[in-house]
Amino acid sequence: MKKLQFSKICKNFGAVVANDNISLSLGEGEILSLLGENGAGKTTLMNILFGHYISDKGFIEVEGKRLTPGSTKASLDAGIGMVHQHFTLAENLTVLENIILGTEPLSRLWSKKKLAYKKLEALSKRFGLLINPDAKVADLTVGEKQRVEIIKALYRDASILILDEPTAVLTPQETIQLFKVLKEMVNAGLSIMFISHKLNEILEISDRIVVLRHGKLVGEVATKKANKELLAEMMVGHKVTRPAYEKLEIGKAVVELNNVCLNASDGTVGLSNINLKIHEKEIIGLAGVSGNGQFGVASILQGLTHPSSGEFKLFGQSLIKYDPRYLTKSGVARIPEDRSKEGVIGEMALWENFLGEELRSKAKSGFIIDKKKAVNNAEKLIQEYDIRCEGAFASTRLLSGGNIQKLILARSLSNNPRFIIANKPARGLDEGAISFVQHQIINAKTKGAGVLLISEDLDEIFELSDRIAVIFDGKLQGPFDASSLTINQVGLMMSGEMKEGSFNEA
């Protein structure tokens, strides 16, 4: 039985075709994976489903009944629930309060608590989503917060669940637990649409896979007949190869952190006695669940934050001047965590954004812009890094996430930096863009750069890193030789369940 049916959905934004005649279905008790590169049309399709957009043509049916277009309430009433990658929970409220918020008028909300307790308890037992109803959301782990989001959808009697990048911030152990829950749900008759870039997980959890490319549905395959190579090629239209790992003879230390501490502030975790050394021709992967101190480490290494104690040595010299301009001029490059907010200025043209790091380092020395030279350089880098755009004068805000990342890579790596801070460089990118980003990082290492790769994606950490360090609650374990670790061991350290002393540090 078809639980959900998209029929000939079309949606244009001006000259951009976001969805082009898309028809697909979701069956009862089925997990359907939706794959596609950035800009393929997945988000637009989901926004139409939830009434945020109205399609130009086509319609959606839930259990054979047409869904009222442009109505979020109609979608919720039809039993559609969505768990977003970025949680939408009120941190200052309890689990129960978050779950019932919005289901009753405010005047009657708290009078329904007793009934809500019973319903929540029944849902938790039925699907194995154990959670304390009275716990404050701010005190929960990332995995527990995700459980709350799922229960919130089920509490509203959702029979169709859309999961958008559900494992992006989970440890391997939390992912295993989530998949057990999802299988319980489909056994109970729920239908799930699973949106992810992680091909291993899609192959593990789904029954069927559909692939979008450039707004069109270009392929559909039963999961048991699929493999990573096939799916990657369907997504981007050509064969995709990840870079081969090569261990090089390391050179001098480019960065040293010796007993570095940082006081906690503004809700961020402090750092406690961080010791880390990164060499030329070496990639060190820093693994950890988001919010465990990665922000502080990256801020110090970029010169944005002065540690409260300890020593930061750059290219053998103790750093006294914590100034991003000085670090950039000295040969430090950065790939920031938030590419759109920290990496570029969207309203500026591409050629202006290419000058960003150069202007930062020369702003106080009477630097005069040679516009013709800057534009020519931008056009050269656009070609070299395959940035899909309308040229050097195009507005940067019009680029996809993958192309913004290519712009940042071109700006950061074209000057042959000696040390690179790569903060979640492939997050949210499709297979083609991930392959490109990883090749550029490997090339920089081969040329002699030392790299700190900060990532929550353990596949990426293991594919690229020579050594791996794990950060939990502001404390660092390692680095360890990557070949001496398993993903399961790193996952246990990420959750604080495996302590220092279990391994020999490299």
Whether residue 306 sits in one domain with residue 227: no
Whether residue 270 sits in one domain with residue 227: no
Integer Cα distance of 12 and 447 in angstroms? 44
- Reading the block at residue 196, the tokens are 């992810």
Whether residue 347 sits in one domain with residue 313: no
Nearest to 211 by CA among 224, 200, 225, 196: 196
Integer Cα distance of 172 and 200 in angstroms? 12
Highest mean pLDDT among 32-36, 345-349, 354-358: 32-36
Nearest to 55 by CA among 18, 25, 4: 18
Integer Cα distance of 33 and 201 in angstroms? 10
Whether residue 299 sits in one domain with residue 232: no
Q: CB 268: neighbour CB atoms within 10 A?
A: 18
State which amino acid sits at residue 143.
G
Nearest to 496 by CA among 35, 143, 145: 143
Position 232 scores a pLDDT of: 82
Total domain count, the chain = 3
Nearest to 169 by CA among 153, 204, 145: 145
Q: What is the pLDDT of residues 43-89, one digit of tens each?
A: 888 889 988 899 999 999 999 899 999 898 899 889 898 887 667 78
414 or 417, greater pLDDT: 417
Q: pLDDT > 70: what percent of the chain?
A: 91
Last residue of a domain, one of 380, 414, 448: 414
3-state secondary structure at position 388: coil
Q: Report the relative pairing of strands 271-279 and 419-423 from DSSP bridges.
A: unpaired
Within a domain: residue 244? no
| Cβ atoms of 465 and 453 closer than 8 Å | yes
Within a domain: residue 308? yes
- Asked whether residue 30 carries a pLDDT value surpassing 90, the answer given is yes
Q: What is the pLDDT of residues 99-143, one digit of tens each?
A: 887 666 555 555 577 788 888 888 887 777 778 888 888 888 777
Position 104 scores a pLDDT of: 62
Q: Which residues contact 159 (CB under 8 A, 6 or more apart)?
A: 3, 79, 189, 190, 191
- For residues 416-437, give the mean pLDDT: 82
Q: What is the pLDDT of residues 234-243, one digit of tens each?
A: 887 777 777 7
Whether residue 464 sits in one domain with residue 396: no
Last residue of a domain, one of 382, 397, 414: 414
- For residues 213-234, give the mean pLDDT: 88
Nearest to 49 by CA among 24, 29, 31: 24
- For residues 246-254, give the mean pLDDT: 89
Integer Cα distance of 165 and 146 in angstroms? 11
CATH number for position 472: 3.40.50.300
- Reading the block at residue 7, the tokens are 């029929």
| Cβ atoms of 49 and 24 closer than 8 Å | no
Position 106 scores a pLDDT of: 52
| Domain enclosing residue 69, as ranges | 2-236
Position 363 scores a pLDDT of: 46
Position 85 scores a pLDDT of: 65
Integer Cα distance of 228 and 431 in angstroms? 10
Integer Cα distance of 276 and 45 in angstroms? 45
Within a domain: residue 46? yes
Whether residue 169 sits in one domain with residue 124: yes
Last residue of a domain, one of 208, 236, 264: 236
Within a domain: residue 242? no
Within a domain: residue 243? no
3-state secondary structure at position 144: helix
SS3 labels along 26-77: EECCCEEEEEECCCCCHHHHHHHHCCCCCCCEEEEEECCEECCCCCHHHHHH
Report which secondary-structure segment, H or E, holds 107. helix 106-109
Q: What is the pLDDT of residues 302-313, one digit of tens each?
A: 888 888 899 999
Whether residue 163 sits in one domain with residue 209: yes
Whether residue 392 sits in one domain with residue 428: no
152 or 283, greater pLDDT: 283
503 falls in which pLDDT band (50, 70, 90)? low
Find the range with the poorest average confidence among 328-332, 364-368, 483-487. 364-368
Whether residue 182 sits in one domain with residue 35: yes
Give me the residue label for tokens 């007949």: 225
Q: CB 317: neighbour CB atoms within 10 A?
A: 9
Q: What is the pLDDT of residues 360-372, one digit of tens each?
A: 544 445 556 778 8
- Asked whether residue 342 carries a pLDDT value surpassing 50, the answer given is yes
Give me the residue label for tokens 């009697």: 157
Phi-psi category of residue 14: left, alpha or beta, with phi > 0 → left and psi -120 to 50 → alpha:
left
Within a domain: residue 241? no
C-alpha separations of 35 from 202, 355, 425, 500 in Å:
9, 35, 20, 39
Position 157 scores a pLDDT of: 83
3-state secondary structure at position 347: coil
Position 59 scores a pLDDT of: 93
Position 32 scores a pLDDT of: 94
Whether residue 427 sits in one domain with residue 409: no
Does the reported pTM lie above 0.85? no
Q: pLDDT > 90: what percent of the chain?
A: 23
Whether residue 267 sits in one domain with residue 213: no
Whether residue 291 sits in one domain with residue 202: no
**Mean pLDDT over the full length of the chain:** 83
- For residues 469-490, give the mean pLDDT: 89
287 or 232, greater pLDDT: 287
Nearest to 236 by CA among 87, 429, 460, 449: 429
Give me the residue label for tokens 């926004």: 47
Within a domain: residue 34? yes
Within a domain: residue 149? yes
- Asked whether residue 415 carries a pLDDT value surpassing 90, the answer given is no
